[in-house]
Each structure stands twice: as structure tokens, then as C-alpha cells.
Structure 1
Amino acid sequence: MAVTQTYPVTGMTCQHCVNAVESEVSGVAGVTGVDVDLAAGAVTVTSEAPVDLEALRAAVDEAGYVLA
């Protein structure tokens, strides 16, 4: 059963930001889907099991943004 979780992300302002976050979060172990909502300032992550929050935080940080 898939797990879907939405997290607030601060600092995103444009499509480049969206692409960077999608790219990094897609690389987190277990992630099967990523949807970044620029207007809402959030990323929705779909996975087969709960994703390690610190791994997700590190991926968003690597993209240059902050998992709030």
C-alpha cells in the first residue's frame, strides 16, 4: 500500500525550484512519486513505506531549500 505525505518547503519561487526539489527528492530511497506545489510551497511524496524524514530533509537541503 502506498504512503502519501505532504511537507511544507520554504524558499521555492519558480519552476527551476520545483525541478530541483523534484529531482533531489526522487532520489530518496523508497520514493515512488514526487509532486511539488509551488503555490502552496509544499512537496507531496508517495512511497511504498514511510520515508526517512532526515533523508527527505537532506534531499530538500541539497536542492537549496528548507523542509519546514
Structure 2
Amino acid sequence: MANRLKEKYLNEVVPALTEQFNYSSVMAVPKVDKIVLNMGVGEAVSNAKSLEKAAEELALISGQKPLIT
């Protein structure tokens, strides 16, 4: 997790979840281990440009270069 996201999670989300679900300990709050983004591009079979455009959009969302399989 990015530092900014981790700080927001620890400072805002964890206390809110602790209060909302009446957790007795901060350690009882679920943790975010992994975030996975997936995109299906069915029209890429007939149009290769759509695959490139989808990869660009996914890169903007995630901040990382997508792996095309």
C-alpha cells in the first residue's frame, strides 16, 4: 500500500470500523493485503486499438503498467 493510503487507513478507517463494529482491539479490524484490478476487453479480438486504450485507462487508475495476458 502507498504511504498516503496506509496513513488514511490507519488514521480514519480503522477507528471508524472499530467504533461501527464494536471491536475490542485495533488488531481485530480487517487489514487490506492485496488489491487486484481486472478488466475484460472482449472487443480486442476484432479491434487491437481497444486493447491499447483499455491498458492506458487501467494504467491511469492503478498508477502501474498493466500486464496483458
TM-score (norm 2): 0.34
> Which structure has more strand as a fraction of its residues?
1
Q: Larger radius of gyration, structure 1 or 2?
A: 2
RCO higher in 1 or 2 (8 Å CA, sep ≥ 6)?
Answer: 1
TM-score (norm 1): 0.34
